A and B are shown apart, each in its own frame.
Chain A
Amino acid sequence: MSEYKTLYDKIWENHLISEDDDGTSLLYVDRHLVHEVTSPQAFEGLRMSNRVVRSPEKTIAVPDHNVPTTVDREEGISNKESRIQVEALDKNAIDFGINYYPVNDIRQGIVHIIGPEQGWTLPGMTIVCGDSHTATHGAFGALAHGIGTSEVEHVLATQTLIQKKSKNMKVEVNGSLGLGVTAKDVTLSIIGETGTAGGTGHVIEYAGSVISNLSVEGRMTVCNMAIEGGARAGLIAPDQKTFDYLKGRPHAPKGTNWEMALNFWKMLYSDKGSKFDKLVVIDGSKIAPVVTWGTSPEDVLPINDIIPNPNDFDNQKKQAVERSLDYMGLFPGQKLEEVKIDTVFIGSCTNGRIEDLREVAKIMEGKKVKEGIRAMIVPGSGLVREQAEEEGIAQKLKEAGFEWRLAGCSMCLAMNPDQLNPKERCAATSNRNFEGRQGRGGRTHLMSPAMAAAAAITGHLTDVRNLI
């Protein structure tokens, strides 16, 4: 390895327990986040082989995917299968003695929102979870990625993961962002540029002035969608903003430990002269507010553009585009701004944090959700919800016509009752526009919270810049 190291190289080396000749490595895991959908089979596996959780104090569990977001959930979950899964997590958390935020705890929320919120996520760590959006935690300069259930069991039993090192990729976003352009537009535009397989086999480090000017929450939005670009993990070197965000969080280090940690965290950056296998440079000033038009997150276009023609794509993608347009009920040449929507979903691990809700409130100031539009806000955690209520945002949004829900993954993947009906078209702040993702036959357009608010006001996809 070269004497100059990338941030990824440094974190990897710090956690390397052993490495075989062919590069197969055993990596130490600092934090293991667990939710109810991808863990029951793993805990069952432990029981069957009489194994225990090796480091329960480093394991944090929360139900989020299945939980209803209506206030009546306090009386219990009516869907039987969902209830069984959440009850299984309740039981596993108690039996194995792991950290747990049950469904009616104010600190409950989407696993990738509460990890940072509670200070479990720290720079330089390795963090895994049976969920692909674990990449979110990379915003703190942690190596964080999704794993499958067999790996969940492996981490529970051993606190390690068998891995091979990925390649280094750098995405530099330079310049500065224009009015109405947010972190979500940045991350979607990157995927539009690189494609959904552009990052496959790589860990992406996001850098450049646009990234360093983003808030920590904005950086989480960027890293969250690294997986949509094919990369397992996305990273951003920690800086003063990161440290300020973490200071005082319940599980962040305190006293002399804080000072020690801080000294170490300040060394977490890619050395000047370190080598990246792949480099993508994007001019931030050219990024417009964007939306997706198809059923892959790479189907991204600026809001003032038109629906593309399948004939403009190579043969394989052409077939996919034809299928997408048919599924989405759109035709080539149609103006994006003329696409009418039925529903607005604001939330998810991509955009369910307090700054996202503030952004929506700002756009909605003095305006209302258009009549006939179903509009829903699902805060990312109980604490985000509480804060929005304290700041008066919640009241304003309710008055503007939004449903104000309890925390969970909700309509991002529609495992709970929050689902789209066939052909229902949704402006969503979530991360995936796959066929059926938000409900069978549902049509998803991904966008920023500001753009979703604009669509809520007008009832069609809208350039938010015309409203500010």
Chain B
Amino acid sequence: MDKFTTVSSVAAPLPLINIDTDMIIPKQFLKTIKRSGLGKNLFDEMRYNQSGDEIDDFVLNQEKYKNTNILVAGDNFGCGSSREHAPWALLDFGIKVIISTSFADIFFNNCFKNGILPIILPKKERDLLMDDAHKGSNSVLTINLENQEITRPDGSIIKFEVDKFKKKCLLDGLDDIELTMKKFEKIKSFENSYFQKFPWI
């Protein structure tokens, strides 16, 4: 996983609440056996009409947002299925940061596994950033994970919380499996006593 560095970009506003994983990446694109190449199908049914042409007023089709790295979204972003294709598609499109008041649990975890930072903010602060995002081209947000700060276009700063372990994994680009492999002795000794107690498992 790539190390997470400071992200500076215009942010795309997606104020709709309950944006689900089926919207982020519809099921017909889950048939891949790869992780890459899903960016072009991100939000497919909102982004393209049935003949495959771009729908002009969808936010990511607007010139100023086409290269964005940041989404500012409505409540409960990423609800629905566990498909990691959702963060894969977001990442492949170029999204590195998503800001909302709340995220669905599985989606939230999946983001971190792929180097995407989901940021939870109180509604008031999310709404300020939503306003910034609506302003488009010159309205750049800067996200500094190390300091846990978002710098707004007017220079003001919004602080955010992030899980300590997840922050370290993002900053260092750490692989979870490698970390757990280091605990193999611990897992082994757990298994020994566990299966003595619960032999039927």
Contact = CB atoms under 8 A, between A and B. Distances in A.
Interface residues on A, range: 35 or more
Contact of A196 (B18, B32, B114, B194): B18
A158 B106 contact: no
B55 interface: no
A160 B180 contact: yes
Interface in B50-81: 50, 74-76, 79-81
Contacts of B114: 150
B82 interface: yes
A260 B50 CA distance: 59
Nearest to A198: B76
A82 B26 CA distance: 15
Interface in A415-461: 415, 422, 432, 434-437, 440
A88 B184 CA distance: 29
A77 B41 CA distance: 24
B186 A18 contact: yes
B165 A20 contact: yes
A208 interface: no
A148 interface: yes
Given A132-B82, A230-B79, A162 B27 contact: no
Contacts of A196: 18, 76, 79
B81 A131 contact: yes
A146 B106 contact: yes
Nearest to B23: A435
A30 interface: yes
Contacts of A24: 163-165
Contacts of A85: 31, 33
A150 B114 CA distance: 8
A151 B83 CA distance: 11
A18 B74 CA distance: 36
A424 to B, nearest CB: 14
Interface stretch (A38-46, A338-346, A363-371, A395-403): A38-46
B180 A26 contact: yes
Interface in B129-145: none
A435 B106 contact: no
Contact of B163 (A22, A26, A37, A319): A22
Contacts of B201: 30, 122, 125
Given A40-B33, A197-B79, A232-B106, A432 B22 contact: yes
Contacts of B94: none
B154 interface: no
B170 to A, nearest CB: 13
Contacts of A122: 200-201
A130 B113 CA distance: 14
B156 interface: no
B171 interface: no
A77 to B, nearest CB: 11
The 8 nearest A-B residue pairs measured at CB: A253-B200, A146-B82, A150-B113, A81-B31, A148-B110, A40-B33, A148-B84, A149-B84
Given A20-B165, A317-B17, A413-B81, 5 more contacts: A134-B82, A158-B177, A196-B76, A296-B18, A316-B17
10 contacts: A26-B183, A38-B83, A148-B106, A148-B109, A151-B113, A157-B181, A197-B18, A316-B15, A413-B22, A415-B27
Interface of B: 15-18, 20, 22-23, 26-28, 30-35, 45, 50, 74-76, 79-84, 87, 102-106, 109-110, 113-114, 163-165, 176-177, 179-181, 183-184, 186-187, 190-191, 194, 198-201
